[in-house]
Amino acid sequence: MKKNIKKAVLAYSGGLDTSIILKWLQDEYNCEVVTFTADLGQGEEVEPARQKALALGIKPENIFILDLREEFVKDFVFPMFRANAIYEGEYLLGTSIARPLIAKKQIEIAHKSGADAVSHGATGKGNDQVRFELGYLGLDPDIAVIAPWREWDLNSREKLLSYAAEHSIQIEKKGKSSPYSMDANLLHISYEGQILEDPAAEPEEDMWLWTTSPENAPDEAEYITISYKNGDPYAINAKVMSPATILETLNQYGNKHGIGRIDIVENRYVGMKARGCYETPGGTIMLKAHRAIESITLDREETHLKDELMPRYAKLIYNGYWWSPEREMLQAAIDKTQENVNGDVKLKLYKGNVTVVGRSSEHSLYSEEHSTFEEDEVYNQKDAEGFIRLNALRFIIEGKKQPHRLEKMHKNKDNI
């Protein structure tokens, strides 16, 4: 049974799906609709969404278009990169990290406009429905949530187009349309569907919209230096920039040199496997640089514990738990480790590769006098014998108490 909704805030892009959802909400719920369009650096004009919303009867005061690029990078992307977060070894979480910010803004707009519901355009098969709704309910447990894809029977593109034609919803067609389901923001662009549903099929070259193919990238390597303060990049080649400008600039370098393409099959939170292709040019460079500056500024056990916590942290973001107490707890621990992660990292960019070629920091823990292969006066190599024997003590005891272990080893060798 449908809830009695008076006003709903819709995450609105102005595209086919959300334009139909807007009209569907008006008809099915007989409610006032507020539209919210976020500029996350997706590379498309967001202002046309205003005219589309007006054409569908939305009051001017109920149309919100917000430039969130700086907030997105500063408060969401940068904290995630302090953790070196990667999901299942490859995915840099470009879509996942945008959803909690969109959810936050929808709730803020709902409170400002007096709305009692929020709505999104995510399907019932994917991760985004979970990410949006965990965000909504984590920030406002009393808000009503409307997920049209779980309610209506418009479950094909043909039905959506028919609905649009029936209700005179104008769907613009700009140039050559892509057959893929895509999501883009300052951190990445993703591709799903069509030929990619066969995990054995190689994607066509013209699918990739951002990056030059590594084969066609410049034949000459390019060097850049990224400067860090408290684990966040703040300058490129000694030029101080805002967080969003840092990522935009790194995207330009990455796109030019064919950096950041991946093709993966990932495990969705809802249970199925899904094949996706991603371009994350600036993020790929940033991850490499951050690990490099940490390599000289973090203690060994600090580094190893961070690496052990990272998969759990990445999983929380992928599954939509950004606003959970456990993610905030992990973030506090991660941020504590970044207090001395300051300095410069020099990188070489060449045909799809990012290579660290130098790193320096006033807080560096690297000691040349201890690490040198030449003669030194700070390290007594004879000390290593006691260190090794103490660490081997349990093996020594076991070998004396259970000598059959050695016999088993020789027996297995004879059977090979």
**Enclosing H/E stretch for 113:** helix 99-113
Q: What single string gives the DSSP state of each residue in 23-43?
A: HHHHHHT--EEEEEEEESS-S
Beta carbons within 10 angstroms of residue 169's beta carbon:
18
Active site residue 99: yes
Selected catalytic residue, list 113, 181, 295, 364: 181
Active site residue 414: no
> Distances from the Cα of 16 to the Cαs of 20, 48, 148, 159, 162, in angstroms?
6, 13, 14, 11, 11
Contacts of 204 (CB under 8 A, 6+ apart): 195
Q: What single string gives the DSSP state of each residue in 278-323?
A: EE-HHHHHHHHHHHHHHHHHS-HHHHHHHHHHHHHHHHHHHHT-TT
Selected catalytic residue, list 50, 69, 82, 99: 99
Active site residue 183: no
| Three-state DSSP class for residue 266 | strand
> Distances from the Cα of 376 to the Cαs of 196, 367, 381, in angstroms?
58, 12, 10
The sign of the CA dihedral 129, 131, 133, 134 is positive
Q: For residue 266, what are its two tokens?
A: 């990932």
Active site residue 360: no
The CA distance from 57 to 117, in Å, is 19
Q: How many CA atoms lie within 13 A of 80 on its CB side?
A: 29
Selected catalytic residue, list 39, 128, 183, 232: 128
Mind telling me the catalytic residues?
17, 99, 128, 181
